Structure 1
């Protein structure tokens, strides 16, 4: 045993050498800039990872040799070893498991107090830093974050140019910039003695990452890239994937800690530690933890943590996807955890808790999807797993879920990972318009991987990229979650047949025209501005604005009417037209709400309580619903507030109030309203019932395209002299989503040109 301790200590002789060399180096250093960086990056590792084990080793050695004359020295040294090695871990477990028994949300002012104590640069008397030296094609800058024993002292750093081919050991920061501050609140750091403006989130990360006794070598895009130089920014994007791939560590900065975030971090850490329990206890302990979180009312703490801006930032797909295994760590204030473990536990927690919430679509369709997709893509890159069919299509489709300050970054943010997957993309160029970036990139992707899933995001007739063909996707288009659903197989397992013509202006596909649209609802529900990702809803959402409740309720009434009226063609096609209506109105997602057909029938009853042709409920039922709404604490104020007098007698407002107070009906309203965003219901000449983009018109056609999972609505270009169409958008058609119409249509395939 004594020999083992002796060998253990000898293993840290290199660290002694590092400390000694540091002393002489700092006294007599004469090396150039690159030698300085190499020294800092090399010694940083030993100082950070070896100091604590070294101290333990010395203590072990001294105490063991003091026991040499003791009869049971081997046993004593073993006990001492176990105590030292596992004592800190045991203490950590106790602190983690304490949240299982008690958890309180205490007010937290530490971040604000630390902000107030920071020393401020006299910006008026300090020269502004400018990135002077030009970078080579493989060059990038690294930031030396200088040490400080005072937490509140000004952040000081230096920038050096190094090569991506032979880089020193450095750490890359993954974070969100955050909104630009007003001029009066602009934050500065000192870079080579000159002021450099940074955002609040960036300076907060620097304060938390700065070390007391050693410098730190970092790569931070906002500082290391000259943001005023579009040419340099374009060049740096080309090697950004390699920067994260070569980093010794990738530091995910979620922002400063708050009481809510700290509690969420403790729950995540506990959820992770539960895996160390025996299998027989694991499921029981996890379910009991979920119940405790619900009883304490802490579900929102987990949901809000999952909704931190970093998780929805498009650049994080590449930054995490290309990082080496085991080097990613999450930092939230002073809390830290391994990224891969923490992300998996966060996903597990949110899945378990959010499916029971009243308005779960944001979590089920958006937030959790980003976690799952990022983890899946990272796994494929780390294992060099070949791409399965549809992976690129999913990648492009999920781009709509991620945010980017510059819309070009929806593509450029994936440049490195696409290159890793074998795609030769056009070089990033921030001088190009958004239209050109999306168009040229899609041509390059389609020529390499002819996957048509991107058509679900086609810019369409009302394009916000007017200089590009209608088939080119607009990755800012998130008004409909129909584009996110990859579970359908309208053309079964057919393969795409795709050709690019006319210098990339036309996309030739193989498909069949199924039918022509003969009727549709022209009204529109209220929807948020273009590009809004969230499904806006809540218990009292929509009650305070006539545009919201009037347009939404009247439009949804028209939706149901088009299928349920007696002369509807849908009655002839569908044996159960009520089921078809339910399927179209919910896009088959009713089970997501934990609801059934009976609940949907109740929804229809309440929606049409004041209709002349639909009288399923008695006036007394309606009165009871309104009384229940009037007794709701939040709605009571509206019922008896004079400013709402004009609303109280409005049938649409009454309908909305009555729906909101019913748990099941409010969930269905939540779902149907989300389906209706950017969409409308339509009927074809032969009775097909479906939902498609609200820009569709009579005589538009419903087509099935080989290799496309969903039907597509097309508009013929008159006078083209050939089968040429513009893309209106994808559609959900009852009785067509699982390939029921494909067997017959496949026999009549023809070339269709999309312009």
Structure 2
């Protein structure tokens, strides 16, 4: 094809087409050269995909540029490094790389290509996940993972000589002495933690890229790669599962090799496992994926949605399509409304954060950029709901007068009269001392307001408080060595202390971002930190937990968040003949 171009230009794609980049062979020090071609991804098209972190684009300088179709083409420094690592010396390599294969300045093309992302990654021979610019720590981590998997991974999964129990229960000192496993503070594990903290594991886009790939390998440097899947003893998944198995033991002398660095890798492994073995899993629906990936990062906030859309099993039913012309506000509002309308559920309201990243969003719309959540009683992995305050009644939607409003029907339960208090630190957290002081003052008021017996259930007040503090999640007590039906009482002097016996972790999980309240009619419960005295608790069909609302005028409300109210979480206060009123959330 002849051309009068003097600089690089994209040729327009036809409907259903995408581009592939053919990377010319060369030695490591040679300049990267490539050519673009169009394809419709027929079954016989052979190519690989690159998964990586973009990073900032270069300004046309030589070190940030490659030659594409004979012209200088700017790329990010991270992609520049990746290309040197994956290029062959003796033969070309055909890849799909979004930064090169999509005209990023053409919003219409960008939208159409995002729609094809699922097919692009499914059809590739393999996906290469670039870990980041090679360095001594990264390479050391890769070599150790290979060695570790080969030495301990096979034994862990085959449980040879009861290895699994030994591995889980031994202290780090015992494993060092008997199996020569490095101690957590040794350099080897520091390198692994450095690897797991790399941005490549925290990208929203990586979730579907990993989950949908036929085969995936982690690329560290030329010639150093690791298989992702656990069908090989030295794979990343085998390593991760083996190491994380120890984290379920909370003994003080037990020791963990990896801590919070595991959050992202665990989500990636779960998504891939569910996609391959249980494609109808509730965890692959859009709302569940939004929750699972909430901590993951994006450059464009709209990609919190679009970056997982190809993986979501209900995306076609929800009829949500990428549109980069829409504002972030409109994208988030549309997703929330579609989830409510199509799923016939108000579950999305339970994922509205207390402290919004963007106040321009309506109060009932989750801001998926914020990682703060106060979720009660749901397990998005299994789709389990632990409460049923409205007895399974479907939502009754009312046509709103404006697109930014949500019209519902519900019934008022009560008004908040007392609430725990304490200074809130940056990020919405409070010190243990502030929590304890606030609880002590509230406890004095609660005893006066309610009396010795909690009338909704007939329990002793201290028992009701104990159950409220863990949101009545007595099933969780068993995980910490207790029994589900053990008494959960609070002694008189214990109200001064934040962590209560073996229930401490459960209590912390429930009240870290919540306040204790009492109501006009003597109920006790947990509400978001932003709740205030005078806020109203409503039971709204379609949501299995009560909702805390703040009246703005006659029937318009600001949505504060979901709450727990002891004694009514299983429909006790929601009779069949209940009379509902119109509610408008703004």
Give TM-score scaled by structure 2 length. Answer: 0.77
Distance 1:328 1:717, change over 3 A: same
Deviation at 1:416, TM superposition (A): 1.8
Please give the alpha-carbon distance, in whole angstroms, between the structure 2 residues aligned to 1:138 and 1:390: 26
Please give the alpha-carbon distance, in whole angstroms, between the structure 2 residues aligned to 1:195 and 1:602: 73
Please give the alpha-carbon distance, in whole angstroms, between the structure 2 residues aligned to 1:269 and 1:754: 59
Please give the alpha-carbon distance, in whole angstroms, between the structure 1 residues aligned to 2:466 and 2:60: 53
Alignment length (residue pairs): 544
Distance 1:144 1:591, change over 3 A: farther
| SS of the residue 1:415 aligns to | coil
Q: Which residue does 1:710 correspond to in 2?
A: 545
Please give the alpha-carbon distance, in whole angstroms, between the structure 2 residues aligned to 1:384 and 1:666: 35
Specify which of 536, 554, 572 is matched with residue 743 of structure 1: 572
Matched, 1:254 2:254: no
Distance 1:182 1:190, change over 3 A: closer
- CA deviation string 1:569-624 (max 9, x = no partner): 355454455565556556659869969889999986567xxxxxxxxxxxxxxxxx
Unmatched 5+ residue regions in structure 1?
1-31, 34-126, 530-534, 536-547, 608-658
Unmatched 5+ residue regions in structure 2?
483-487
Deviation at 1:209, TM superposition (A): 1.2
Specify which of 488, 495, 499 is matched with residue 397 of structure 2: 499
Deviation at 1:128, TM superposition (A): 10
Deviation at 1:202, TM superposition (A): 2.0
Distance 1:388 1:476, change over 3 A: closer
Q: Which residue does 2:426 correspond to in 1?
A: 527
Matched, 1:688 2:499: no
| SS of the residue 2:386 aligns to | coil
Q: Which moved more, 1:131-140 or 1:342-351?
A: 342-351
Q: Which moved more, 1:509-518 or 1:297-306?
A: 297-306
Matched, 1:273 2:166: no
Matched, 1:513 2:430: no
Q: Which residue does 2:226 correspond to in 1?
A: 336
Distance 1:194 1:390, change over 3 A: closer
Deviation at 1:491, TM superposition (A): 0.9
Deviation at 1:474, TM superposition (A): 1.3
Please give the alpha-carbon distance, in whole angstroms, between the structure 2 residues aligned to 1:344 and 1:706: 44
Specify which of 373, 376, 379 is matched with residue 480 of structure 1: 373
CA RMSD of aligned residues (A): 4.4
Written as runs of structure 1 = structure 2, the 5 A alignment for 1:297-376 is 297=185, 304-324=194-214, 327-333=215-221, 334-339=224-229, 342-343=236-237, 345-353=239-247, 356=250, 371=265, 374-376=268-270
User: In 1, are the aligned partners of 2:217 and 2:225 still within 8 Å (CA)?
Assistant: no
Q: Which residue does 2:441 correspond to in 1?
A: 561
User: In 1, are the aligned partners of 2:25 and 2:90 still within 8 Å (CA)?
Assistant: yes
Matched, 1:239 2:68: no
Q: Which residue does 1:656 correspond to in 2?
A: none
Matched, 1:403 2:297: yes
Please give the alpha-carbon distance, in whole angstroms, between the structure 2 residues aligned to 1:270 and 1:289: 18
| SS of the residue 1:239 aligns to | helix
Distance 1:415 1:390, change over 3 A: closer
| SS of the residue 2:153 aligns to | helix
Q: Which residue does 1:109 correspond to in 2?
A: none
**Structure 1 or 2: larger helix share?**
1
Please give the alpha-carbon distance, in whole angstroms, between the structure 2 residues aligned to 1:335 and 1:603: 54
User: In 1, are the aligned partners of 2:47 and 2:96 still within 8 Å (CA)?
Assistant: yes
- CA deviation string 1:325-379 (max 9, x = no partner): xx22233441311335533641442242375388x99x89x86665555445445
Please give the alpha-carbon distance, in whole angstroms, between the structure 2 residues aligned to 1:443 and 1:566: 38
Matched, 1:441 2:311: no
User: In 2, are the aligned partners of 1:412 and 1:428 still within 8 Å (CA)?
Assistant: yes
Q: Which residue does 2:512 correspond to in 1?
A: 676
Please give the alpha-carbon distance, in whole angstroms, between the structure 2 residues aligned to 1:428 and 1:216: 30
Distance 1:750 1:343, change over 3 A: farther
Distance 1:272 1:189, change over 3 A: farther
Matched, 1:197 2:85: no
| SS of the residue 1:339 aligns to | coil
Deviation at 1:437, TM superposition (A): 0.5
Please give the alpha-carbon distance, in whole angstroms, between the structure 2 residues aligned to 1:223 and 1:169: 18
| SS of the residue 1:172 aligns to | strand
- CA deviation string 1:253-287 (max 9, x = no partner): 22232434543453345443225646554424533
Please give the alpha-carbon distance, in whole angstroms, between the structure 2 residues aligned to 1:195 and 1:437: 35
Q: Which residue does 1:219 correspond to in 2?
A: 96
Please give the alpha-carbon distance, in whole angstroms, between the structure 2 residues aligned to 1:372 and 1:556: 33
| SS of the residue 1:407 aligns to | coil
Distance 1:387 1:433, change over 3 A: same
User: In 1, are the aligned partners of 2:148 and 2:239 still within 8 Å (CA)?
Assistant: no
Deviation at 1:521, TM superposition (A): 3.8
Please give the alpha-carbon distance, in whole angstroms, between the structure 2 residues aligned to 1:183 and 1:196: 8
Please give the alpha-carbon distance, in whole angstroms, between the structure 2 residues aligned to 1:459 and 1:213: 53
Give TM-score scaled by structure 1 length. Answer: 0.61
| SS of the residue 2:375 aligns to | helix
Distance 1:584 1:718, change over 3 A: same
User: In 2, are the aligned partners of 1:702 and 1:712 still within 8 Å (CA)?
Assistant: yes
Matched, 1:730 2:565: no
Larger Rg: 1
- CA deviation string 1:47-92 (max 9, x = no partner): xxxxxxxxxxxxxxxxxxxxxxxxxxxxxxxxxxxxxxxxxxxxxx
Distance 1:573 1:434, change over 3 A: farther
| SS of the residue 2:317 aligns to | coil
Written as runs of structure 1 = structure 2, the 5 A alignment for 1:5-24 is none
Deviation at 1:709, TM superposition (A): 4.0
User: In 1, are the aligned partners of 2:289 and 2:312 still within 8 Å (CA)?
Assistant: no
| SS of the residue 1:405 aligns to | coil
Please give the alpha-carbon distance, in whole angstroms, between the structure 2 residues aligned to 1:172 and 1:321: 13
Distance 1:284 1:519, change over 3 A: closer
Specify which of 206, 222, 235 is matched with residue 83 of structure 2: 206
| SS of the residue 1:515 aligns to | strand
Please give the alpha-carbon distance, in whole angstroms, between the structure 2 residues aligned to 1:420 and 1:217: 32
Please give the alpha-carbon distance, in whole angstroms, between the structure 2 residues aligned to 1:175 and 1:488: 36
Distance 1:667 1:526, change over 3 A: farther
Q: Which residue does 1:145 correspond to in 2?
A: 23
Distance 1:557 1:396, change over 3 A: same
